[in-house]
Chain A
Amino acid sequence: MKFTKFLAAAVMTGVMASPVFAATELTVYTAVEAEDLKKYAERFNEDHPDININWVRDSTGIVTAKLLAEKENPQADVIWGLAATSLLLMKSEDMLEPYAPAGLDELDPKFRDKSDPPTWTGMDAWVAAICVNTVESEANNLPMPSSWQDLTDPVYAGHIAMPNPSSSGTGFLDVSSWLQIFGEDDGWAFMDGLHQNIHHYTHSGSKPCKQAASGEVAIGVSFAFRGAKSKASGAPLEIIIPSEGIGWDMEATAIVKGTDNMEAAKTLVDWSITDKANQMYNEGYAVIGKQALAMPVEHFPSNIPESMIDNDFEWAANNRKRILAEWQKRYDSKSEPKG
């Protein structure tokens, strides 16, 4: 099987690439949506046909765990499309190669690592949001929430799902942003109230919104990107940007320290912040590294950029252990054995 596939591949390459390139093979780890990967590689190859991208794609948590576990002998050349918080973790383990890509000055300062030269640069932002199923809300006489505080109203008891911050980066993003928006004491008080209304916590960040889309719960605390996608496929969803502001994280790019293909890696990272790349990110995401280029995206609320809080990623990363321990102490009791 392998041999015939190899043969087929050899024939195909022979037919398609008459002027034979000595293409550089680049192993790229990513958490970008699977359906977008082909597009990303194709657009990049329009400008750089001599670099061949070999994707290793998985969910954010698995890619992050994989990268950290491979620390002794890294397999990836470049990371293109992983949460900035994950890259911060890798930066603290000294796994990233500092590099200032060409055109860095044009990038929104929020969308780059604060070190100089930066170890990572941002691509696009994904923001927290509330997904509300209009059909189920009506059936259960639920008012439309407009703020985070609204969600603590007892009327929503048993109708809300949110990601567990111990399992999901999105869940932690929510919790850390509430602590920044409300301050520590009021933040925990808010979550105490919210907890009373939670039907269940999920392991995955996008699931609450998907569950809201299919009516498993009326309200899902998730992120806007998923909501917009479900809405596009026909779900009776309303995407709410709460008035207090929203937490966010970004997809980002970095070179893995010790890569054998440094030149090609730099070429890819240079390209990842070009106007062309930003416009490509804009096809799915409303907020991008060069916001001046951004066009409105269908089904996305328009007030996202001004609602984004001034998220302190370093603070969140440094306090993660403490926050999660506190969260588990307060709310993991839902999982206390019964009887």
Chain B
Amino acid sequence: MKTPIKAKTSRDDRQMLVFMGVIACYLFVALALPLYAILSKSFKNDDGEFVGLANYLEYFNTPSLTYSIQNSLTISIITTLISVTIAFTLAYGLSRSCMRFKGLFKIIALVPILVPSLLPGIALIYLFGRQGMIRGLLFGHDIYGPIGIVISEVFFTLPHALIIIMTALSIADARLYEAAQSLNAGKIKTFFTVTLPGARYGLISAGFVVFTLTITDFGAPKVIGGDFNVLATDIYKQVIGQQNFEMGAVVSLILLLPAGVAFTVDRIMQRKQVALLSARAVAYEPKPSTSFDWIMFCWATIVSIFILTILGTCQYAALIKFYPYDLTLSLNNYQFDLMDGGGWESFYNSLELACWTAVIGTVLVFLGAYMVEKGKGFHLGRNLFQFLAMLPMAVPGLVLGLAYIFFFNSPNNPLNFLYHTMAILVISTVTHFYTVAHLTAVTALKQMDPEFESVAASLKTPFYRTFTRITAPVCLPAILDISIYLFVNAMTTVSAVVFLYGPHTSLASVAVLNMDDAGDIAPAAAMGMMIFYTNASVRILHGLLSRGVLRKTQSWRSR
């Protein structure tokens, strides 16, 4: 094991510190201060007077509220186990087997990220509801409740886990496998001694991402949860149903606890993480193996069928005149001018939001991750930054949205001119999705040997040149993944922006939520599928554009 050589010029460090400071300031203003604005309410009564822990006492003395903690934990743990297992096995097949149609399987597995999170719930109602097409498969169990929530959440979280695990698996040092082979280690032994330890960090990150995504999501429990109360829907009940911001803040604070755990574990694991891609590494290339390739092929097919069934059901639902009584095909559900947000205007607003979020967010996130990973010294500051970057994941969108109202709309805030503008939508969206983007960037950066920087420094190359010449090009796949991740999430996000859009910035995704809320689930499916097709087109365009770039920059990966 090597120890990184510390040979940095102090001017570099100072410059990086300034950069990091700027991005930390952003996170502070866009995240920490608004959160304080709302969470401090949990210690106040509705007249704004400080009441200590009174709200918490009331909360823990209301059994119907505290049951939700257990419900939320159960749902999230089960979802995490299922989702990470599927994501890992699939990622393993995609990166380590020679099965056919890898590209197609990868595209399909990433599809759920392109659709609004309400869609799987809607599809499950059409499939397994009381009038469901294949409800017999549930053997009399009710889809409204934990079963429905878990299936929706697995669908919704799978791509998130897959992206992180793929990044962890895609950069493997072939020399380790060659060594294992020459030591006569079997396939299984190699898997447990080389592959799994190498992907460990990605697996744990993915686990926490899935866990927190599930525990904070209110879309699926709202659509398909029936009477199964979870923390996220409790916030909805308190804030939207009863306008009780104080109790909503209490539940929010309880929901933030997983973030604390995630952060601690992440720190501990990170200390043990070693750079996998040393400067002398050789990229791993899988060799064909008939039986293994076939098993992986079948598995990938099953996962793909699950995803495509959900998607196909939504498209079918959108085209049916009146399910289940009038199954003639019609385009009635596509009359967007009669829908929330003024039809196409909201659609263009969503596009604009997605573009800004992708551009600004990618720059911000990657620079931030670079400064945290490659900067030296100032440990306290970097730890704080890392914590701020992990936090958004744990903040339910509803809470973030409300926090923005309280913070940015305050008459004393010099930034209150941002309220009701496109800018505040962009800021909230970048912040809301910061964590996964940050983790992707960090995972990619971690796998680069610090020797790159050390050598660069010893050649008196300034860090920004190393960054633009080496780091950014090497991490280009991750950077492109981050930008598309931010784009599609901006298209589909609802929970934070529902509080923040103004008269001229209504959004398509909010329209989907409202239509489902009113019970118009067929038009909701139609609009949701419109968002999907947009995202899919952009994704394809993105893929074509980046293929050329990648070919230029990534050819070093193959021998």
**Complex partner residue of B498 from A5, A62, A216, CB under 8 angstroms:** A62
B422 within 8 A of A: yes
B243 within 8 A of A: yes
A62–B99 alpha-carbon span in the complex (Å) = 49
Most buried by A among B62, B240, B326: B240
* B519 and A226 contacting across the interface, CB-CB below 8 Å: yes
A21-53 interface bits toward B, Cβ cutoff 8 Å, 1 = contact, 0 = none? 000000100000011010000000000000000
A167–B240 alpha-carbon span in the complex (Å) = 7
Given A35-B338, A204-B518, A234-B322, is A69 in contact with B245 using a C-beta cutoff of 8 Å?
Answer: yes
Within A228-252, which residues are at the interface with B (CB < 8 Å)?
A: 233-236
Contact-residue bracket for chain A: 35 or more
* A337 and B70 contacting across the interface, CB-CB below 8 Å: yes
A89–B241 alpha-carbon span in the complex (Å) = 13
A65–B506 alpha-carbon span in the complex (Å) = 17
User: What residue in chain A is nearest B226 (Cβ atoms)?
Assistant: A200
**Complex partner residue of A214 from B67, B323, B406, CB under 8 angstroms:** B323
Within A127-175, which residues are at the interface with B (CB < 8 Å)?
A: 135, 164-169
* B240 and A75 contacting across the interface, CB-CB below 8 Å: no
A201–B221 alpha-carbon span in the complex (Å) = 13
- Neighbouring A residues of B351 by C-beta, 8 Å: 1
B322-357 interface bits toward A, Cβ cutoff 8 Å, 1 = contact, 0 = none? 111110000000000011111000001001100100
**Complex partner residue of A211 from B70, B321, B322, B519, CB under 8 angstroms:** B519
B409-441 interface bits toward A, Cβ cutoff 8 Å, 1 = contact, 0 = none? 111000010011010000000000000000000
Within A193-221, which residues are at the interface with B (CB < 8 Å)?
A: 200-201, 203-204, 206-207, 209-211, 213-217
A55-77 interface bits toward B, Cβ cutoff 8 Å, 1 = contact, 0 = none? 11111011011101110110100
* A34 and B341 contacting across the interface, CB-CB below 8 Å: yes
A332 within 8 A of B: yes
- Neighbouring B residues of A58 by C-beta, 8 Å: 498, 510, 514
Question: Shortest beta-carbon distance, A22 to chain B, in Å?
Answer: 19
A324–B71 alpha-carbon span in the complex (Å) = 21
**Complex partner residue of B517 from A5, A169, A204, A328, CB under 8 angstroms:** A204
A2 within 8 A of B: yes
**Complex partner residue of B144 from A200, A209, A325, CB under 8 angstroms:** A200
A169–B517 alpha-carbon span in the complex (Å) = 13
Binds A, one of B4-12, B123-131, B294-302, B304-312: B123-131
Given A200-B226, A203-B233, A335-B71, is A70 in contact with B409 using a C-beta cutoff of 8 Å?
Answer: yes
- Neighbouring A residues of B402 by C-beta, 8 Å: 65, 69
B227 within 8 A of A: yes
Question: Shortest beta-carbon distance, B283 to chain A, in Å?
Answer: 40
Given A54-B504, A200-B226, A200-B227, is A328 in contact with B64 using a C-beta cutoff of 8 Å?
Answer: yes
A215–B322 alpha-carbon span in the complex (Å) = 11
A165–B498 alpha-carbon span in the complex (Å) = 22
Most buried by A among B242, B322, B410, B521: B242
* A34 and B409 contacting across the interface, CB-CB below 8 Å: no
A334 within 8 A of B: yes
* A337 and B503 contacting across the interface, CB-CB below 8 Å: no
A209–B406 alpha-carbon span in the complex (Å) = 35
A75–B411 alpha-carbon span in the complex (Å) = 11
B467 within 8 A of A: no
* A73 and B410 contacting across the interface, CB-CB below 8 Å: yes
- Neighbouring A residues of B237 by C-beta, 8 Å: 164, 166-167, 203
* B422 and A337 contacting across the interface, CB-CB below 8 Å: no
A210–B242 alpha-carbon span in the complex (Å) = 23
User: What residue in chain B is nearest A215 (Cβ atoms)?
Assistant: B131
User: What residue in chain A is nearest B515 (Cβ atoms)?
Assistant: A34
A318 within 8 A of B: no
- Neighbouring A residues of B326 by C-beta, 8 Å: 234
A116 within 8 A of B: no
- Neighbouring B residues of A115 by C-beta, 8 Å: none
B228 within 8 A of A: yes
B391-412 interface bits toward A, Cβ cutoff 8 Å, 1 = contact, 0 = none? 0000000000010011001110
- Neighbouring B residues of A166 by C-beta, 8 Å: 237, 241-242
B239 within 8 A of A: yes
* A1 and B355 contacting across the interface, CB-CB below 8 Å: yes
**Complex partner residue of B409 from A73, A167, A235, CB under 8 angstroms:** A73
A329 within 8 A of B: yes
**Complex partner residue of A59 from B64, B71, B501, B514, CB under 8 angstroms:** B514
Question: Shortest beta-carbon distance, B55 to chain A, in Å?
Answer: 13
- Neighbouring B residues of A325 by C-beta, 8 Å: 62
A333 within 8 A of B: yes
User: What residue in chain B is nearest A236 (Cβ atoms)?
Assistant: B325
- Neighbouring B residues of A185 by C-beta, 8 Å: none
User: What residue in chain A is nearest B412 (Cβ atoms)?
Assistant: A72
Given A168-B241, A216-B131, A234-B326, is A69 in contact with B405 using a C-beta cutoff of 8 Å?
Answer: yes
A336 within 8 A of B: yes
Question: Shortest beta-carbon distance, A145 to chain B, in Å?
Answer: 19
A266-281 interface bits toward B, Cβ cutoff 8 Å, 1 = contact, 0 = none? 0000000000000000
* B130 and A215 contacting across the interface, CB-CB below 8 Å: yes
- Neighbouring B residues of A320 by C-beta, 8 Å: 242
* B241 and A75 contacting across the interface, CB-CB below 8 Å: no
- Neighbouring A residues of B129 by C-beta, 8 Å: 216
A243–B285 alpha-carbon span in the complex (Å) = 76
B236 within 8 A of A: yes
B534 within 8 A of A: no
* A337 and B67 contacting across the interface, CB-CB below 8 Å: yes
Most buried by A among B67, B518, B521: B518
- Neighbouring A residues of B519 by C-beta, 8 Å: 204, 206-207, 209-211, 213, 226
A204–B524 alpha-carbon span in the complex (Å) = 15
B229 within 8 A of A: yes
Kindly list the 9 A-B residue pairs having the minimum CB-CB distance in the complex, ordered from nearest.
A210-B519, A54-B503, A332-B64, A61-B240, A167-B241, A335-B229, A35-B338, A69-B405, A34-B340
Supplied contacts A58-B510, A75-B419, A214-B323, 20 more A-B pairs, CB within 8 Å = A2-B352, A2-B422, A54-B504, A61-B240, A65-B240, A68-B245, A167-B233, A167-B237, A168-B241, A169-B241, A203-B222, A210-B518, A210-B520, A211-B519, A213-B519, A214-B322, A234-B322, A234-B325, A235-B325, A335-B71
Q: List 27 A-B contacts (CB under 8 A).
A: A54-B503, A58-B498, A58-B510, A59-B518, A62-B240, A62-B499, A68-B243, A69-B245, A72-B410, A73-B411, A164-B237, A167-B233, A167-B237, A200-B144, A204-B517, A207-B517, A210-B520, A216-B125, A226-B518, A234-B326, A325-B62, A328-B64, A328-B65, A332-B64, A335-B71, A337-B67, A337-B74
